[in-house]
Amino acid sequence: MTAPRDPLEPRGETPGWFVSSCPLLAQETELGASPLSPVVEWPPTGPVKVWHAERAGGFDAVLAHIARDAVDVVTGPRAQTISRCEVPGCVRIFLREHARRISCSTTCGDRVRAERHYRLHQAGRDG
Q: At how many degrees (to 10) do helices 59-75 and 23-31 cross?
A: 120
Claim to verify: residue 55 and residue 88 sit in the same structural domain = no
Is pLDDT at 110 greater than 90 in this prediction? yes
Q: Is residue 40 part of a domain?
A: yes
How many whole angstroms separate alpha carbon 122 and alpha carbon 32?
65
Q: Is residue 7 part of a domain?
A: no
- For residue 83, give the amino acid letter: S
Claim to verify: residue 120 and residue 101 sit in the same structural domain = yes
CA dihedral of residues 36, 34, 28, 75 (deg, nearest 10): 0
Claim to verify: residue 59 and residue 96 sit in the same structural domain = no
Claim to verify: residue 57 and residue 96 sit in the same structural domain = no
Claim to verify: residue 127 and residue 88 sit in the same structural domain = yes
pTM value is 0.48
Q: Mean pLDDT across the stretch 96-104?
A: 90
Question: What are the tens digits of pLDDT across the range 16-46?
Answer: 444 444 554 444 444 345 566 677 787 888 7
Claim to verify: residue 58 and residue 92 sit in the same structural domain = no
Boundaries of domain holding 41: 14-75
Number of domains within the chain: 2
Claim to verify: residue 64 and residue 21 sit in the same structural domain = yes
